[in-house]
Amino acid sequence: MTETRPAVTMLGGGIGCSRLAAPLAALLGPGRLTVIVNTADDLWRYGLRICPDLDTNLYALAGVRDQARGWGVASDSFRAMNQLRRMGHNAWFNLGDLDLATHLLRTELLHDGLSLSEVTARLARGFGVDARLLPMTDVAVGTQVTIPAGTYSFEEWFVKLSAAGPVEEVCYHGADSADPAPGVLDAISDADQVILAPSNPVSSIEPILALPGVRDRLSARRSSVTAVTPIINGAPMTDQGEVNRARARRRLMAARGLANSATAVAGLYRDLAATFVLDCADGQEASTIEADGYRVVLANTIISDPDRGSRLAETLLRRPCAGHGSTNSH
């Protein structure tokens, strides 16, 4: 039987990407969604390899991600972290008790000699995930954020230092010589549609774009690439996590000399994507983004519950041909 369902590849980071990954996977069916995930936030804690963005997508695709926090396992407890605190340790990165099982198994398998992509595939199978989850690379790449007090790994800056500013520099240590993981470049070239997730452009999308070959593959597919805005300025933010992530994003965008706006994000991806999904609340930016060479689709992009995620996923899969003129899809 010939496969008629489209093959979709999405590139992204943690929370924003995972909110779209689950409804896309549900609409597309088994094996039709590939998610290429940023690994430049990965870190070692307590001898364990932690991959926050991979795990956020893994848990979302498995239907066990904590909805309110946006990361970690739903209803997880933090007894191990609290015990560390009782011992006087500054446990600044909160690893849930169930989440720890993922890190234990990942670290064990890495020590056994498996690559991060092999380990990720094993974890995804273990969680019953039938989408393909790919780390962007099997090599260690680390986002480093420089503020006046010094240079820190991404999670140290974001969590331990509460995204303190101003950010002077952001770099992706090791990215320019890190081969994309097996399957990454082909997943971009072979997909019917490629999506740049509504993820932080500086800390989640750019590390993937910094890997050799990724930009070229995307620009060769530009007419099939859709970018979804991660920034909505016209609507109020409703939870503290969103407020914190928005503040971090504003500081990272400023470090690149960019405004905190959908238009600025569109400018970053103009050579890579032909369609830009702009939130209805920021509709007044549509003509500027169109003038940048995009077809603009207006949609409700705030994924505050699974129904909204499904509606946005449906809008994305109804991909119109690349061209010009804005389309209202909400």
Q: 133-161 b/e with 16+ CB inside 10 Å = b? A: bbbbbbbebbbbbebeeeebbbbbbbbeb
**Nearer to ligand FO1 by C-beta: 24 or 95?**
95
Q: How far is the CB of 66 from ligand FO1 (least distance, A)?
A: 10
**Nearer to ligand FO1 by C-beta: 76 or 285?**
76
Strands 43-45 and 48-50: antiparallel
Among the residue ranges 13-21, 107-115, 226-234, 303-311, the one whose residues contact ligand FO1 (CB under 6 A): 13-21
**Nearer to ligand FO1 by C-beta: 19 or 295?**
19
**Nearer to ligand FO1 by C-beta: 17 or 302?**
17
Q: How far is the CB of 67 from ligand FO1 (least distance, A)?
A: 14
Among the residue ranges 10-18, 217-225, 279-287, 319-327, the one whose residues contact ligand FO1 (CB under 6 A): 10-18
Q: How far is the CB of 6 from ligand FO1 (least distance, A)?
A: 27
For ligand FO1, the binding residues in 95-154 under the rule CB under 6 A are 95, 99
Tell which residue, 201, 171, 327, has the closest CA to residue 264. Answer: 201
**Nearer to ligand FO1 by C-beta: 79 or 330?**
79
End-to-end CA distance of the chain: 34
Give me the count of residues in the chain: 330
Measured CA to CA, the distance from residue 190 to residue 62 in angstroms comes to 25
**Per CB under 6 A, does 309 bind ligand FO1?**
no
Q: How far is the CB of 206 from ligand FO1 (least distance, A)?
A: 13
Please answer whether residues 307 and 262 qualify as being in contact, where contact means their C-beta atoms are separated by less than 8 angstroms.
Answer: no
Q: How far is the CB of 15 from ligand FO1 (least distance, A)?
A: 6
**Nearer to ligand FO1 by C-beta: 158 or 172?**
158
**Nearer to ligand FO1 by C-beta: 27 or 91?**
91
Q: Which of 43, 159, 161, 280 binds ligand FO1 (CB under 6 A)?
A: 159
For residue 89, how many other CB atoms are within 10 A of its CB? 11
Q: Which of 158, 172, 269, 276 binds ligand FO1 (CB under 6 A)?
A: 158
Q: How far is the CB of 291 from ligand FO1 (least distance, A)?
A: 31
Binding mask 246-285 for ligand FO1 (x = CB under 6 A): ----------------------------------------
**Per CB under 6 A, does 13 bind ligand FO1?**
yes
**Per CB under 6 A, does 294 bind ligand FO1?**
no
Binding mask 36-75 for ligand FO1 (x = CB under 6 A): -----x--------x-xx-xx--------------xx---
Contact positions vs ligand FO1 (CB under 6 A): 13-15, 41, 50, 52-53, 55-56, 71-72, 93-95, 99, 155, 158-159, 204
